[in-house]
């Protein structure tokens, strides 16, 4: 799936995440978004996803939280 093929708006619009959830037959409220971009975190929040994880790769933890991350990690292994 590509945004261009499906004529979907890019982030911070939640369209691509919502389409992926639809294809997986999962309600957004029952799904999680993992993103390192502020626009991706905002898209996850705008799509009403159940859990939005911000992955801080460049020292922007507070900005990720402000954009809607429920939790911020520096490494996905922190979630194990």
The CATH number of the domain holding residue 12 is 3.40.50.1000
The total of structural domains in the chain comes to 1
Tell me how far apart the alpha carbons of residues 12 and 46 are, in angstroms, rounded to a whole number: 8
The 10s digit of each residue's pLDDT in 41-55 is 999 999 999 999 999
pTM score of the predicted model: 0.92
Using 50, 70 and 90 to split pLDDT, how confident is the model at 6? Answer: confident
14's tokens: 């939640």
Residue 4 pLDDT: 77
Determine the 3-state secondary structure of 73 from DSSP. strand
pLDDT, greater one: 52 or 2: 52
Residue 56 pLDDT: 98
The 10s digit of each residue's pLDDT in 54-79 is 999 999 999 999 999 999 999 999 99
- The DSSP-derived string for 29-47 is GG-EEEESSHHHHHHHHHT
Domain housing 66: 3-79
């Amino acid at each position: 799936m590509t945004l261009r093929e499906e004529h979907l708006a890019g982030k911070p619009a939640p369209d691509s995440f919502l389409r992926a959830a639809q294809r997986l037959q999962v309600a957004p409220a029952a799904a999680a978004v993992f993103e390192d971009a502020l626009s991706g975190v905002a898209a996850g929040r705008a799509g009403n996803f159940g859990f939005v994880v911000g992955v801080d790769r460049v020292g922007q933890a507070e900005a990720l939280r402000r954009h809607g991350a429920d939790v911020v990690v520096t490494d996905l292994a922190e979630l194990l």
